[in-house]
């Protein structure tokens, strides 16, 4: 029976205690053509509509190997032109994957969008969607100042900031320059995810998990001594992976058998601080998850769980750190389906297409729809009444929020100081109601 309100505290040992969780095993899943009816979880890959046209280059034989991490994910049914099939967020920029497998980004632009000016000029902001001149893209991932794109044949390019080595240079290093799409020396990738803004996790067709970047505590490669490294395999003892996620100082992987593995040094978010991935006994079929520097949230069995250093961002109702997962109270009868977090907020997409969020409301991020409602933070989830569409996924930046709608359009609210609302303008106002982004 569905329940209108949920609030449970789980045991602290082991981490994620008696968590009931779910996911789809992809052990027998092969690459699917873009024309197939496939719909990976909103944050795990693009939600491609059945009517999506053929790949731009028929000779490229574009295929999509992103596994169906969340069986309850809802596919985009293209009604908008152009049609967005996946939406991701960095700290102050957004990128959209279109049904023609091209990419457009908007918001903070230097260095997030690389050196996109042919004259070598930097631009502080891009207040309307910019064509990133990429084609045949199958999946996006973004966090912080960096975005990575996976292509249909399994290659990966990353662009934007390289503050922590997520963009692999030769030799691997960090810098503060903007980088255009840069090919990563890795192949046969089925899924890519930026973790904590400084590490990239890639799942290969074989189920192997690879990583690169900095912060050796999230690389899962204890043999690495350098601060910044290129791609290398995470030793999971032969386990095959179907999902991976994490935040600053903590990473998680889900095996084909549904076992949850974890590693890192974020002691408020992982019970075992160390570089060697270890299983958390008793956990199977783990679903959608995401994290940042302060907290981690996970959707499992239609419920939302959060834990970490700050109860405000975790929607717990208390200021204390949460050292074991707390089932977060949601409103109404719909189930939690997909979660997105930032340094100030957590947002969850419900199975009825509505959005609920907690945390700061300084720039109207909670989407109350009330322009003069003040900037009071909410320690518990509240409904984003300023958004009236049907959301397929939600992507949260540091001070703004965008959602991908069922028909393939995008709406945003919150701050617009870097053009995050995609309206062709910038301002410092508080935007508590959603506005639709124009891709024309």
Q: Which of 143, 190, 152, 146 lies closest to 165, judged by CA?
A: 146
201 vs 54, 81, 349, 395, CA distance in Å? 28, 32, 24, 19
Query: What tens digit of pLDDT does each residue of 273-319 get?
Result: 678 888 766 555 667 888 887 888 988 888 898 988 888 999 999 88
**Where does the pLDDT of residue 122 fall: very low under 50, low under 70, confident under 90, or very high at 90 and above?**
low
Whether the predicted pLDDT of 71 surpasses 50: no
Mean local confidence (pLDDT), 208-227: 88
pLDDT at 259: 81
CB 92 within 8 A of CB 420: yes
Please give the structure tokens belonging to residue 7: 């609030």
With respect to residue 82, please indicate whether it lies within any of the assigned structural domains. yes
pLDDT at 117: 58
CB 101 within 8 A of CB 62: yes
CB 168 within 8 A of CB 162: no
Sign for the pseudo-dihedral over CA of 369, 373, 374, 379? negative
Residue bearing the bigger pLDDT, 60 or 384:
384
Q: In a 10 Å sphere around its CB, with 0-12 CB exposed, 13-18 middle and 19+ buried, how is residue 353 labelled?
A: middle
**SS3 of residue 217 by DSSP:** helix
Whether the predicted pLDDT of 378 surpasses 70: yes
Distance between CA atoms of residues 363 and 425, nearest Å: 16
Residue bearing the bigger pLDDT, 285 or 238:
238
pLDDT at 143: 92
Q: How many domains does the chain divide into?
A: 1
Q: Which of 18, 194, 188, 9 lies closest to 91, judged by CA?
A: 194
Q: Tell me which H or E stretch contains 306.
A: strand 303-308
Q: In a 10 Å sphere around its CB, with 0-12 CB exposed, 13-18 middle and 19+ buried, how is residue 120 labelled?
A: exposed
Residue bearing the bigger pLDDT, 372 or 260:
260
pLDDT at 347: 97
Residue bearing the bigger pLDDT, 115 or 137:
137
With respect to residue 406, please indicate whether it lies within any of the assigned structural domains. yes
- Quote the pTM value: 0.83
Distance between CA atoms of residues 335 and 326, nearest Å: 16
With respect to residue 346, please indicate whether it lies within any of the assigned structural domains. yes
Q: Which of 227, 230, 211 lies closest to 219, judged by CA?
A: 211
Q: Which of 372, 428, 379 lies closest to 400, judged by CA?
A: 428
CB 230 within 8 A of CB 173: no
Q: If you average pLDDT over every residue of the chain, what do you get?
A: 81
Q: What are phi and psi of 324, to 5 degrees?
A: -140, 155
Residue 101, C-beta contacts closer than 8 angstroms, at least 6 positions apart: 34, 55, 56, 62, 135, 136, 137, 138, 152
Mean local confidence (pLDDT), 67-78: 64
155 vs 132, 200, 298, 357, 386, CA distance in Å? 17, 14, 28, 35, 39
Mean local confidence (pLDDT), 318-338: 89
| CATH code at position 424 | 2.130.10.30
Q: What are phi and psi of 419, to 5 degrees?
A: 80, 25
Whether the predicted pLDDT of 77 surpasses 50: yes
Distance between CA atoms of residues 220 and 160, nearest Å: 24
Report the DSSP beta bridge partners of residue 107. 93, 126
Mean local confidence (pLDDT), 343-372: 93
Distance between CA atoms of residues 163 and 354, nearest Å: 35
Mean local confidence (pLDDT), 341-364: 95
Q: Is 374 left (phi over 0), alpha (psi -120 to 50) or beta?
A: left
394 vs 54, 66, 98, 402, 425, CA distance in Å? 27, 19, 16, 6, 22
pLDDT at 281: 64
Residue bearing the bigger pLDDT, 384 or 125:
384
Q: Around 294, how many Cα atoms within 13 Å sit in the side-chain half-sphere?
A: 17
With respect to residue 274, please indicate whether it lies within any of the assigned structural domains. yes
pLDDT at 43: 42
Q: Around 125, how many Cα atoms within 13 Å sit in the side-chain half-sphere?
A: 18
With respect to residue 350, please indicate whether it lies within any of the assigned structural domains. yes
Alpha-helical (H) ranges within 135-226 are: 216-219
pLDDT at 184: 97
Query: What tens digit of pLDDT does each residue of 156-189 get?
Result: 999 999 988 899 998 889 988 889 999 999 999 9
With respect to residue 2, please indicate whether it lies within any of the assigned structural domains. no
Q: In a 10 Å sphere around its CB, with 0-12 CB exposed, 13-18 middle and 19+ buried, how is residue 388 labelled?
A: exposed
pLDDT at 12: 33
Whether the predicted pLDDT of 248 surpasses 50: yes
**Where does the pLDDT of residue 76 fall: very low under 50, low under 70, confident under 90, or very high at 90 and above?**
very high
With respect to residue 142, please indicate whether it lies within any of the assigned structural domains. yes
pLDDT at 264: 84
Give ∠ CA 70-71-75 in degrees, rounded to 5: 85
The most confident of the ranges 13-22, 195-204, 258-267, 384-393 is 384-393
With respect to residue 419, please indicate whether it lies within any of the assigned structural domains. yes
Mean local confidence (pLDDT), 229-238: 92
Least confident of 62-76, 228-242, 293-307, 413-427: 62-76
pLDDT at 284: 57
**Where does the pLDDT of residue 87 fall: very low under 50, low under 70, confident under 90, or very high at 90 and above?**
very high
Residue bearing the bigger pLDDT, 300 or 334:
334
Please give the structure tokens belonging to residue 11: 């045991």
Mean local confidence (pLDDT), 111-117: 76
Query: What tens digit of pLDDT does each residue of 9-59 get?
Result: 333 333 333 333 333 333 333 333 333 233 333 343 454 444 333 333 333
Distance between CA atoms of residues 76 and 437, nearest Å: 17
Could you tell me the residue range of the domain that residue 116 belongs to? Answer: 8-436
């Amino acid at each position: 029976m569905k329940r209108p309100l949920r609030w449970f505290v789980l045991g602290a040992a082991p981490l994620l205690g008696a968590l009931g969780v779910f996911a789809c095993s992809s052990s027998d899943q092969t690459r699917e053509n873009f024309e197939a009816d496939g719909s990976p979880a909103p944050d795990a890959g693009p939600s491609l509509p059945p009517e999506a046209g053929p790949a731009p280059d028929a000779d490229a034989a574009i295929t999509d190997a992103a596994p169906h991490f969340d069986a309850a994910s809802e596919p985009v049914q293209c009604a908008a032109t152009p049609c967005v099939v996946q939406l991701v967020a960095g700290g102050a920029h957004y990128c959209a994957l279109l049904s023609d497998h091209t990419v457009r980004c908007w918001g903070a632009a230097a260095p997030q969008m690389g050196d996109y000016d042919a004259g070598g000029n930097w631009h502080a902001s891009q207040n309307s969607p910019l064509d990133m001149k990429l084609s045949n893209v199958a999946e996006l991932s973004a966090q912080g100042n960096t975005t990575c794109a996976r292509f249909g044949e399994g290659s990966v390019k990353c662009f934007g900031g390289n503050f922590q080595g997520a963009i692999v240079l030769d030799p691997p290093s960090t810098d503060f320059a903007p980088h255009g799409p840069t090919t990563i020396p890795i192949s046969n990738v089925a899924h890519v995810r930026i973790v904590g803004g400084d590490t990239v996790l890639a799942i290969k067709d074989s189920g192997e998990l690879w990583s690169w970047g900095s912060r050796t505590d999230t690389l899962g490669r204890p043999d690495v001594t350098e601060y910044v490294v290129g791609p290398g395999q995470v030793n999971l003892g032969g386990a095959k992976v179907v999902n991976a996620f994490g935040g600053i100082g903590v990473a998680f992987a889900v095996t084909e058998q549904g076992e949850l593995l974890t590693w890192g040094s974020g002691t408020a978010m992982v019970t075992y601080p160390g570089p060697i991935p270890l299983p958390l006994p008793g956990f199977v079929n783990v679903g959608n998850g995401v994290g940042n520097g302060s907290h981690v949230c996970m959707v499992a069995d239609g419920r939302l769980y959060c834990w970490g250093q700050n109860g405000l961002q975790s929607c717990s109702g208390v200021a204390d750190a949460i050292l074991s997962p707390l089932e977060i109270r949601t409103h109404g009868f719909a189930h939690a389906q997909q979660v997105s977090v930032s340094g100030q907020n957590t947002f969850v997409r419900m199975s009825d297409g509505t959005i609920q969020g907690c945390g700061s409301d300084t720039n109207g991020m909670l989407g109350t729809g009330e322009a003069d409602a003040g900037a009071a933070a909410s320690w518990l989830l509240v409904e984003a009444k300023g958004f009236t569409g049907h959301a397929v996924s939600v992507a949260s930046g540091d001070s703004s929020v965008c959602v991908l709608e069922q028909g393939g359009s995008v709406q945003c609210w919150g701050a617009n100081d870097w053009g995050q609302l995609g309206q062709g303008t910038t301002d410092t106002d508080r935007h508590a109601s959603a506005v639709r982004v124009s891709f024309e």
